[in-house]
Every structure is written in structure tokens, then in C-alpha cells.
Structure 1
Amino acid sequence: MIGVAPSTLKRDELQNLRGGAALLASYQRQITREMSPDPGSWYGAVAQYSQAADTATAGRFADGVFTVIRTGKQRVRKDGQRVSLPETPSVRPTRSQLASLGLRTTAAAAVPECPGELNCRFVPAAASNYQVSTRNSNGIDVDFIVIHDLEGSYDGGVSWFQDPVSGVSAHYVMKADGSAATQMVATKDIAFHAGNYWMNLHGVGIEMEGYAAQGPTWFTPAQYKATAALVVYLARRFDVPLDRKHIIGHDNVLPPRPARAPDAHWDPGPYWDWEKFMGLLDADHRQEREAEGGEARGNIGIGEAVTIAPAYGENVQTVTVCAPTCRSQTQPSNFLYVRTEPRADAPLVSDLALRPDGSAGSDRIDDWGSTVMWGQDFVVADTRGDWTAIWFGGRKGWIHNPAGVNTRPAPDARIVRPASGATSVSVYTTAYPRAAEYPQGLPASAQTRFDVYAFPQGQAYVAARTPVDADDFFPATPTRPEVVVTGDQTYDVIQYNRRLATVNTAETG
């Protein structure tokens, strides 16, 4: 419409705004055939701009926009620029235009998708905060269930996801006392919750009321129980394996590009009790094994896989919390520190996406680059006394593990290594098709390699039980149906460091 390449629209803010304005204007011409100076007469165009498939959702989006126009808004951007829209209370939107858009008259999901034991309601998120889709029937599988915390209250989270300004949503919001749950996006649709679109494409997001640094205060037994019931329900519906490669935290999602790593979220944080939660799922059948006499923890073989499994109540760790001032906080935790050498005073390993200069990691609660978490699987690289080395983020990382107390064997783990003759494997964070595999007219998503990460010959990592197909998704527009793009390559999802990464199966053996 404005003669600018899609790649320019993506990175040039001014051209992006021009393109959005041109698209909105095209809808206005279709609906009214005039470019009225009265903002209220653009209500139908704004509703169409939402890309919603039903009148209720389109109307909510447009009402949200006109509420901002009438009441005004001020915001300070990350670059420090102050943006101000003065209030215009005299604007009267022409809501009658909604009927001319030819949309469905009822919302697609009015009944919550929840297990019977939950007190669950459906409150739709703002239409601009998610994408309408037809998972799994369109070939896009749900492979991950992602646990978050809101860093706020239950009601505040619901309100935030209803606000078009936020640009984010989750499928579910869970109250801290376990008494209520709110579904905000249908599971067939794609919520914007993980900060990584490919992960959103294949994930269901669950937000917990609470604050990560105050986890035990907010994460109650009732909340664990209610959330576990929901996860089991979803896992059965979508055939999601109940293990920590598929039931993950936001802090296990690698950002889509290295530049985004410093801003990557770390919730639900060190105090979400994965041991308790996965036990409620009985995800790894621990109860069955314990009934059969338990499992040996001291048997650690180099080249074999182990599961990180410190006892939550006994695994006391110290972190530094800096909000608003810095203080040390020592209490039971779900993680172990990873060090450069097998001794307690050795520096913490450096994550090069966070610290390109290779400086040591820290014990700050939001410094996710130097820790492993309960339930994650790694390959043993070495042992020395009370310490076990694992292949971690492209290097040997040492965890304190006397007599194997903090790990257990993972004999069924699927281990991947560089293919014979290959010097290294490329590390990614998504699994998109190649550019040539996209239909003409659809922009290809970038399969960005984390060049700062290494996976050389001699190292090994644990992968999910089955590879995933390269794929991408484009929601329906007024001129075409939704499009699923599938490539001919497959990827393994591996436990690379604290976060998951993807590697091309053509490069591994």
C-alpha cells in the first residue's frame, strides 16, 4: 500500500506506522467510502483492524481504542520518549458500523475449557493480544504448557490482558488461593505470553497470581493443586508429555534473538516448587518407583544423562534481590548454581547471551544464566569428588552433588550429539521453515542462530523424545484464510542451559 518492503516495515518505526495507517484507511474506504475527519465515524474500520472473526471480539477491541481516545493516555517509552494523547471526550463512535463487517455474531469461545473441579470462567482478552487459530486441527500442535507468574494480582492480570495497550495475554490466570481460574484465550488460539512467537505457536500459557521473589507467600498448596488439575486436563487433550521438557516455566523459554536475552523473563522463579508440582502430576511416576524400593542416586556415569533433583525443602540457596534495594535472601529453592570449577568458591559460569565479555555470573535472582532447575536433564561430562560436571550452555558446568544427592539417573533420556564428521551444531531458539518454503506474498520468519552459543563435537545434550517439524502460522485476514507453512526440516528441542533451544536434526546424530 505504501511501496515499502515488508522487511523495512518490520524494523523502521515510521514506515511501520505509515503502513498501519494505510491499512486502517483501506478499511475506512471499504466501509464508508469517505475519509471523515470525525474519529467516531472510523469505528467500523478500527473494529476491522482487530482482525477478529466475531462481532463481540471486534467490538471489544474498538471500544478499547475509543476509550483511550476519549480519556487520553500518557506513556514513557523504553527509549525515554514521552508519548501523550490528549483526551477527547466529545468523540462518539458509530457502533452501528459493526453490523456491516459481515462477522460472526457470537464469540467462538464462551464456555471455559477447564476440568470440572475448577471454579473457572471465560473472560476474553483484547483481540489484539492474541491470534485466532485452529490448533491442533490445522497441524500446529500444542507441545508445551508454560507456567508464569503475573508479578501482580489476579484481578490486575485479568484486567491487563483485556487492555489492548498491553499487547500480551495468557490462556489462563490462576488465583493464589486456588479458588478461581479465568480462561482468557481459547486453547485453539495463540496467546502472546512467552516472548518467543514460535513457543507461543506451540504453547498454552498459564499465569499465576503472585510475585516470583515472594514465591512461598503466593504459591499456596491450593494453587499448586488447582494448576496441576488444569495441566493434567490440557496434557490429556493435546497429548503433551508430562515432563520438564514440555511442562516448563517462562524462565525455560529462550528469547527469539540473542539481543533479547538480557530482558528475558525469569518467572515463576526459584521458589516455584517443581518437585511438588510435578509430583501432583505424577509426571515421572515417582510414586510407582518409590513403592518398588526407590532409585539409586549415587550411580553417575560420564556420558550418561541425569535429572536435576534436589529436595526442595533441603535445597537452601542464597540469592540477591534488588527491588528496590539489594538484599540477600536465603530459603529453600528449586535450583542449583553451576560453577566453572569443582569448588564452592569458583566463579559461576557465564552465559554469553547475557555477558558477551565472558564475565562471571552472579547470584542475583534475575540472573538466570548460571543455574539449573529441578527436573531438567543434562549429560554428565565429568565427576570429581562431591562435584558433577554437566554439558551446560556449550561448556562444562559443575554442580555440587555429593553422593549424587542432587541428581537421579535418567536412563530413558534421548541424547543428541554432533553428527559424525561435523565439528559443531548450530543452536537456535525457534524452528521455522526456510525462506524459500514460504508461499509468495507471506514474509518469512527469521530462523535466528545464537552465534554466541556453542555445541561442538564432544558435547552432548538431552532432547525431547521426538523432533518437531519446522512450521509457521499466519492468521486469517479479510482476503484469505489462515495459512500454516511447514518446512521439510525437523528440529530437536534440547535442554541447553536453564532454557530450551532447538537444533536441526540434520546436524546431529
Structure 2
Amino acid sequence: MGALASVALLLPLLSAAPPAGADVPEAGVLQGQFARAAERQGVPVSVLLAVSYLQSRWDTHGGAPSVTGGYGPMHLTDAVTALARTAAPHHSEGGEDARGDSSRPVRTGGDAPVPAPAELPERLRTLERASVLSGIPAEELRTVPAANIEGGAALLAAAQREAGLPASADPADWYGAVARYSGADDSATAATYADDVFDVIRTGETRTTDSGQVVMLPAAPAVAPATGQVADLGLRRPAAGPVECPSSVACEWVPAPYEEFGDGDYGNHDKANRPVSQSIDYIVIHDTEADWNTTLKLVQDPTYVSWQYSLRSSDGHIAQHVPLKDVAWHAGNWFVNAKSVGLEHEGFLTSPDSWYTEAMYRTSARLVRYLAGRYDIPLDRQHILGHDNVPGTVASTIKNMHTDPGPYWDWAHYFRLLGRPITPSAGPHAGVVTVRPDYSSHQPVYTGCVTAGQACAPHGSGAVRLHTAPSADAPLVQDIGLRPGGQDSTTGVNDTGARASTGQSFAVAERRGDWTAVWYLGQKAWFSNPVKEPTAVNARGLVLTPREGLAEVPVYGRAYPEASAYPAGVPVQSVSPLPYKLLAGQRYVVGGRTPGEYYFAPVFDPSGHTVVRGQEEYYQIQFGHRVAFVKASDVRVSRA
């Protein structure tokens, strides 16, 4: 774990402060609030700004809590208050079979308790301590940015005093206090967090926040922090084990159980030999809807389900549960499970006006880059999927598929951290567009975050809505898989029926003024795409359409082999189409080509597990909000 402190291994920041002499925007009121709080509390302003950046990127979020009950620019946590808005953990709600294999009994997450306030660790109750230290009432710390910044500065100053260190003006002397601020209970995570903060100090940042405030942190490349201070914090060492993580993150081994528990049932994953037996083609991004401790308890329960990694919101700490060679039960689609790695990101609030910390985005991006490099997975939205992009296996499972991480996950920022920013790659008459609204300013109204039918709090979003005509008054397009009766889609925050998300690419059907139409779920779907405020960029790509002579071709939720490919003793899995059609004249963007495969693993003993691979090949396409598959023999492919 010694390499964890190596700054050289950290991802480069992609929006560093401008060089000296460059035109820079005028700083806003928020900048002055940081300066005054730093002076009053005796904390270097660069340290205060960098810690805040790693928590919130200086956003105020309108007073809404993060996924772990953190408030304001300093992410002061008050999970006791936030618990009033919790719901069941991610895999415990809804009817989705996380394993997604119709040849075996359904495996859902089951019930799990919401933690009692007394069970919450100190890292989820920092607002309470900040109130004591600063004398500022808790409600002000939650809702007033200046008060929140003051409270965060007070916590940093207290950490410095408790370490027996002076209130130095040199930011290099504050490494231990920053590590303590992370709330991490292990030395590796605390060091990784502090390294990230000092990386921000060295490279600098300038950003316009969600409240329209310009905040600047000038680069200070010569700052060399006293990294040895973390050894004096008395933190534990992470659990040793066969972790598969990049050296630039803090990662520990918290194994999911592989054991039998009666009546032929077992849990909570399957042994395999990937990538020798099957390629790993996808990484699936989830949101836990559970706090960290509950998440770890659940994944260690053999009667629950599983995923490969959990990521903690407050500091980006990672726990690995299932070896990458094995198949976890997380995506609700067995074909995807067998060829993917699942990442669960901590969050126990279902209200999607909550937000994710920069610390978690960064460590998640490092992990995904590592996995993509190891398994040659393309860094694009056809292979880095949200759980809400995984298709139902057959018609009957579509309605139960999960909708996380939802419209508030910042895919554009995530892909910048991945080193693959979403930029135009074609001219104005391109046959493909890639969705990319401005996350902060793009705030479509969603409903049902707290109360059914009621509007959610305004919040930036990376998703656009799709209409039946080029008008905001036109009905939303229909998803006959979600609503077989033909009803229109809704603005519900969990309704994916008329939604296209940042990074997803679609074939252009028509352009008309400020509106663009794409082919989507077998129909022409329009979204607002003004020239002055575009919500998509023009792109290149391969597209497919039914081959000549076919009026329509079926669409599938999994790429299973033909019946003749199954050996004796392995039940044939039906190649059952979804209720959609890809019609002649329509085009869809190709994500990749894959052979028909089925991983037969119905029993605990892996000696009888078999990969069935057929002659039939499939193309993965961006068909709606979720991906889908079509048989290669049914279509022809061309460059858009």
C-alpha cells in the first residue's frame, strides 16, 4: 500500500487553473467567503478550497444533501436528519432478479434494515461537531454556504490542534489534518484522500459553481506536503487480501461468501475463469441506496446478491468483494453479469436531488480506467453502462429493471476524469449525435423524488427528454416494454421510457430548427438541441439497419446462442425477443459485435459449469435508454 501516496499515479486534473497572464473570470462572493473563513479559523485558504473541491467542487446544491447526508460546499454530514428520506437498499426494492438467469430460481436482494441513528459512524455526523466548534446552528450549516464553509474550516483547525500541530500558514503542514477530515478509518484511504487534495493545490482549479459563482484556486506546484503525518493519526491498516485495484486508490478485501445454505441453493455469486472462459466487455455503474456499513453487511450475506466493488462516498474508499474472474449477481441480466464487472457507489438517499462527492467520482474513474485497460474495454457509453442502461432479458422482466444511478449521475464529468471527454467528432450534418447537455444549467423537471407526482428539487442533469414531435408540448415517446398498453412516458424520475443520457449515441432521423430527431425504441424521437445551447454533439460511428428485404428485425435483451450449440445436459435457453421492432429505414448506433454465449452455472460445484458458444453473432446497439442486441445476420452495417 506504500504506492498509495504516489501523486504521480493520480489522474491528471482536466480543468486546471489558467496560466499566468491568461484572461480569467471575476471571482464571486463565494471566493471571499472561503478567504474570510480561512483567516478566522487559521487555516490556509488553499487547503480549505482544495478540501471543498474534493467534496463538492464548490457547489452548494441548493441545500440538498449528498447521497450520504452531506451538506454544502464542505460536505458537512448530518445523516441523522437525512435518514428521514431513506428507503430500501438498492437490490432490496423492486422485483428485479439480480442474477437474471431464467434457468434458475429468482434471486432478489430481499429485505435489509435502515440503520438507526445511533449506529452511524462519526464520518456521517460531522455537521453536529462543526456546530459545536463554530457555534453556528445546525440549520445554518445545512443551508447557508458561508456558514457551511466556516464549519468546515473549524473542523480542519480542530484536526490540526488535535494532532499537536501549529496553525501554520504553509499548506504543506496540513496533510494530517486533511487526511483526518476525510473521515476515513484506515490509513491508506486517508492518505489517498489527502494526496488528491494536495494534487488540487498543486495544479489549481477554476470553476463556475452551480450557483453561478466563480471560484479560483491558483496553482502552487511547489507545495510538498508532510505525508508522514498520516502515520500519527492512529488509523487501522486496510484488510489484506487478493484485491485487484490500481495502486492509485485505497482498496481492501471484504469477501462475498461462496457457500451453500440448503435445498441446492447457494450464494452469492458464481465461480468462473474470466477472461479465459469469457471476455469481460462491460463495467456497470450502480448506486447502493444504502449506507456503507449496511452495504458491506449485505454483500457478505450468502442469501443476498453480489457485485465486485463498493465505493464509499465521503472519501472514495473501495472494497472488493468478488474476484474479477468470477461472476457477480448485480445487473439483472445474466448475459451482462457473465461479461461485466459491477461497481456499487454508496448512497442511502433515494431522492435524486442528492449528489455524489468528487472524491468518489475520482476513485471510481481510476478503478474503471484500470479495469478497462486490463480487459481492453472501450471507454465509451456502450461499454461503461449505468444499471439503468442494462436491458431486460425478456419482455416480462423489462418493468422490473433498475433505474440507478439515474439522471443525476454526472456522466460528462465522469468521462473527463476517465480521460475520454465527450467532444464533437463530426460536422454539423453528421448522421450520429452524442447526448451531452451542460450538466449544471440543464435542469429538466422530474417528479416523484419524495412524493409521487410532485416536482423534485431543481438539479443539474445529464439526461434529455424525447418527444413525439419537435415541441416541448408534444407527448413523450412511448416505451411499450414498460407500458404494454401504449401509454405515454412520464416525467417520473425513475421512468426511463423517454430518456437519453449523456454519452449515449443515436442515429439522426431528422433535424428541424432547434430540434433533433433520433431513432429510439423503433420510433422517431425528438429532443431540444438549440444551436446556442446544444444538448448533443455531432459524432461519427457505425450504424445498422435491417438488411435488404426485411421490413423489420427482432430486438433482444441478451445474446444467447442458437439451440444447436447446446451440448447434452445443458438446457437450451430460449432466444426470446423483446416487444420492440427495428424497422426498415431506421438506423441505430453499433456498440460492438459479440458471439452468442450462455454461461451455464446452475449449481454450487463449478466443475460442471460450461460456457456455451454458438455460431450466431449479435450486434449490441443503443436502442433506447437501455442497450439491446440484434442478430448480425438480420442487419447490414455502414458508417454514418
Q: Where on the TM-score scale, by shorter chain, does this alignment land: which range?
A: 0.7 to 0.9
Answer yes or no: is 1:431 the counterpart of 2:568.
Answer: no
Q: Return the offset for 1:297.
A: 8.4
Structure 1 counterpart of 2:303: 165
SS of equivalent residue, structure 2 residue 377: coil
Is the contact between residue 590 and residue 621 of structure 2 (CA under 8 Å) also seen in structure 1?
Answer: yes
Q: Pick the aligned partner of 1:408 from 537, 546, 550.
A: 537
Is the contact between residue 316 and residue 362 of structure 2 (CA under 8 Å) also seen in structure 1?
Answer: no
Separation in 2 of the partners of 1:12 and 1:236?
Answer: 35
Structure 2 counterpart of 1:371: 499
Q: Pick the aligned partner of 2:371 from 221, 230, 234.
A: 234
Separation in 1 of the partners of 2:298 and 2:329?
Answer: 13
Answer yes or no: is 1:501 the counterpart of 2:640.
Answer: no
SS of equivalent residue, structure 2 residue 448: strand
Q: Pick the aligned partner of 2:435 from 286, 300, 308.
A: 308
Higher relative contact order, structure no. (Cα contacts within 8 Å, ≥ 6 residues apart): 2
Separation in 2 of the partners of 1:458 and 1:197?
Answer: 31
Is the contact between residue 175 and residue 209 of structure 1 (CA under 8 Å) also seen in structure 2?
Answer: yes
Separation in 2 of the partners of 1:376 and 1:125?
Answer: 33
Separation in 2 of the partners of 1:349 and 1:417?
Answer: 21
Distance 1:210 1:488, change over 3 A: same
Answer yes or no: is 1:251 the counterpart of 2:380.
Answer: no
Q: Pick the aligned partner of 1:223 from 336, 347, 360.
A: 360
Separation in 1 of the partners of 2:443 and 2:242?
Answer: 43
Letter of the 2:545 partner, please give it. R
Q: Pick the aligned partner of 2:572 from 423, 444, 454.
A: 444
Is the contact between residue 353 and residue 449 of structure 2 (CA under 8 Å) also seen in structure 1?
Answer: no
Distance 1:478 1:179, change over 3 A: closer
Structure 1 counterpart of 2:454: 327
Answer yes or no: is 1:189 the counterpart of 2:315.
Answer: no
Distance 1:241 1:402, change over 3 A: same
Is the contact between residue 311 and residue 364 of structure 2 (CA under 8 Å) also seen in structure 1?
Answer: yes
SS of equivalent residue, structure 2 residue 583: coil
Is the contact between residue 435 and residue 501 of structure 2 (CA under 8 Å) also seen in structure 1?
Answer: yes
Q: Return the offset for 1:387.
A: 0.8
Separation in 2 of the partners of 1:485 and 1:221?
Answer: 42
Structure 2 counterpart of 1:459: 586
Distance 1:11 1:242, change over 3 A: closer
Structure 1: which 5+ runs fail to align? Answer: 1-8, 14-108, 287-294
Structure 2: which 5+ runs fail to align? Answer: 1-101, 107-239, 259-266
Distance 1:120 1:362, change over 3 A: same
CA RMSD of aligned residues (A): 2.1
Q: Return the offset for 1:285.
A: 7.2
Identity percentage of aligned residues: 36
Structure 2 counterpart of 1:70: none
Alignment of 1:52-201 (within 5 A): 110-127=241-258, 128-138=267-277, 140-166=278-304, 168-201=305-338
Structure 1 counterpart of 2:471: 343
Answer yes or no: is 1:391 the counterpart of 2:533.
Answer: no
Separation in 1 of the partners of 2:421 and 2:283?
Answer: 16
Letter of the 2:575 partner, please give it. Q
Separation in 2 of the partners of 1:439 and 1:337?
Answer: 46
Letter of the 1:135 partner, please give it. R
Q: Return the offset for 1:165.
A: 2.4
Partner deviation per Cα, 1:450-505 (whole Å, 9 max, x = no partner)? 1x2010100000011x3101111124865944311110011000000000000000
Separation in 2 of the partners of 1:444 and 1:462?
Answer: 30
* Number of residue pairs aligned between Structure 1 and Structure 2: 391
Partner deviation per Cα, 1:306-338 (whole Å, 9 max, x = no partner)? 111111112111100254554212211010000
Structure 1 counterpart of 2:402: 265
Separation in 2 of the partners of 1:479 and 1:225?
Answer: 36
Distance 1:388 1:151, change over 3 A: same
Separation in 2 of the partners of 1:253 and 1:131?
Answer: 20
Separation in 1 of the partners of 2:553 and 2:476?
Answer: 25
Is the contact between residue 298 and residue 405 of structure 1 (CA under 8 Å) also seen in structure 2?
Answer: no
Q: Return the offset for 1:137.
A: 1.1
Consecutive aligned runs of 4 or more in structure 1 exceeding 6 Å deviation: none
Partner deviation per Cα, 1:175-234 (whole Å, 9 max, x = no partner)? 002341110111100000000000001110000001575456441000000100000000
When the two structures are superposed, what TM-score results if normalisation uses the length of structure 1? Answer: 0.73
SS of equivalent residue, structure 2 residue 378: coil
Deviates more, 1:326-335 or 1:474-483: 474-483
Is the contact between residue 290 and residue 349 of structure 2 (CA under 8 Å) also seen in structure 1?
Answer: no
Q: Return the offset for 1:164.
A: 2.1
Answer yes or no: is 1:470 the counterpart of 2:596.
Answer: yes
